C-alpha cells in the first residue's frame, strides 16, 4: 500500500469503488452537486458507500449545502467525512463540524499568493484542508476541472491541520507534485477518467503506482 494517502473523487459506479479500493486508495469521494457530471443522488451514494470495504473512507462532497441537504445525506449515506467545496465561511465550517460530529475537509482554491492566508484561516477550524486549484472565473464547476496551480506557491508551507493536494493531478505528474510540495495526501478526479464522470480502473491503478513510487523516492515515513 502507498505510504502517501490517495483520495479518488467523483465516483459514480460500484465498479469504480471496487477499483479504488483494490488499487489501495484511502478515500472515496461522492459529489453531491447537480451541475457536475459526477453528481450522484443520495440513494446512489448510499449504494456506492455500502459497496466500499472497511478501510476505504467515504467522503461526501457538497457545495454551499444547507442543513436540510446535509441532514438528508447524512441520514441515508454512511459517510466518514464531509468535503465543503463552495464558498462556506470559516464560521459555517465550524458550525457544520459541530452540528454533525463528522470530520470536515474544507477545499480552498489557490491561484496566487493572495489565496494562501485562507488556508491558514480554514486550517484552524477544519479537520483537513484540500489545497486545490482555484476554478477559473465563470467555470461551471468549483472543482474537478483538471487544472493544476503553480505548486511552487505552497512548497515548504505547512498548516495547522492535515492537508491534501488537488488540482490537475494525473499519473504522469503526481510524482513531481509530491516532490515539489511534500504532500502526504493527494486527491484526483478528472485525471483518472476516460470521460467526465467515468473512472478508468487502469488509470486509477497507474495513479496509485505513481504515488507509491514517489513516496519511496522521498522516503516518506508511514502515517
Ligand X SMILES: O=C(O)c1ccccc1NCC(=O)[C@H](O)[C@H](O)COP(=O)(O)O
Nearer CB in complex with ligand X: 60/123: 60
| Beta strand pairing call for 5-8 and 27-32 | parallel
What minimum distance in Å lies between the beta carbon of 86 and ligand X? 8
Alpha carbon distance 88, 14 (integer Å): 30
Give the three cell numbers for residue 196: 467526465
Catalytic residues: 9, 132
Please give the grid coordinates belonging to residue 204. 486509477
Q: Which cell numbers in the block locate residue 16?
A: 469504480
Asked if residues 220 and 184 have their Cβ atoms less than 8 Å apart, the reply is yes
Task: Give me the least distance between CB of 192 and ligand X, in Å please.
Answer: 8
Q: Where along the sequence are the contacts to ligand X (CB under 6 A)? A: 9-10, 29, 31, 33, 36, 38, 61, 63, 85, 132, 141-147, 166-169, 187-191
Q: Give the nearest distance from C-beta 221 to ligand X in angstroms.
A: 26
Closest to ligand X by CB, 24 vs 109, is 109
In the bound complex, which residue of the shown chain has the CB atom lying closest to ligand X?
Answer: 144
Q: Which of 31, 51, 49 is nearest to 41 (CA)?
A: 31
* Choice between 103 and 144, CB closer to ligand X: 144
| Shortest spacing between CB 189 and ligand X, in angstroms | 3
Distance of alpha carbon 185 from alpha carbon 178, whole angstroms: 9
List C-alpha distances in Å: 208 to 17, 25, 48, 99, 167.
14, 7, 21, 34, 16
Cβ within 8 Å of residue 137, ≥6 positions away:
none
Closest CB to ligand X among residues 208, 221: 208
Amino acid at each position: 500500500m502507498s505510504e502517501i494517502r490517495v483520495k479518488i473523487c467523483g465516483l459514480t459506479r460500484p465498479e469504480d469503488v471496487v477499483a479504488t479500493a483494490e488499487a489501495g486508495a484511502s478515500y472515496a469521494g461522492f459529489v453531491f452537486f447537480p451541475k457536475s457530471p459526477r453528481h450522484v443522488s443520495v440513494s446512489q451514494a448510499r449504494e456506492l458507500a455500502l459497496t466500499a470495504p472497511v478501510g476505504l473512507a467515504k467522503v461526501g462532497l457538497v457545495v454551499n449545502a444547507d442543513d436540510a441537504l446535509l441532514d438528508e445525506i447524512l441520514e441515508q449515506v454512511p459517510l466518514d467525512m464531509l468535503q465543503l467545496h463552495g464558498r462556506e465561511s470559516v464560521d459555517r465550517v465550524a458550525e457544520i463540524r459541530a452540528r454533525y460530529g463528522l470530520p470536515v475537509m474544507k477545499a480552498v482554491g489557490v491561484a496566487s499568493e493572495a489565496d494562501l492566508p485562507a488556508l491558514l484561516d480554514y486550517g484552524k477550524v477544519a479537520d483537513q484542508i484540500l489545497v486545490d486549484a482555484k476554478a477559473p472565473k465563470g467555470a461551471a464547476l468549483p472543482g474537478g476541472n483538471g487544472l493544476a496551480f503553480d505548486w511552487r506557491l505552497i512548497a515548504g508551507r505547512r498548516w495547522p491541520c492535515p492537508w491534501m493536494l488537488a488540482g490537475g493531478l494525473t499519473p504522469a505528474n503526481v510524482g513531481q507534485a509530491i516532490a515539489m510540495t511534500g504532500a502526504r495526501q493527494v486527491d484526483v478526479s478528472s485525471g483518472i477518467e476516460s470521460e467526465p464522470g467515468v473512472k478508468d480502473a487502469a488509470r486509477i491503478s497507474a495513479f496509485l503506482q505513481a504515488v507509491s513510487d514517489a513516496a519511496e523516492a522521498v522516503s516518506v515515513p508511514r502515517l
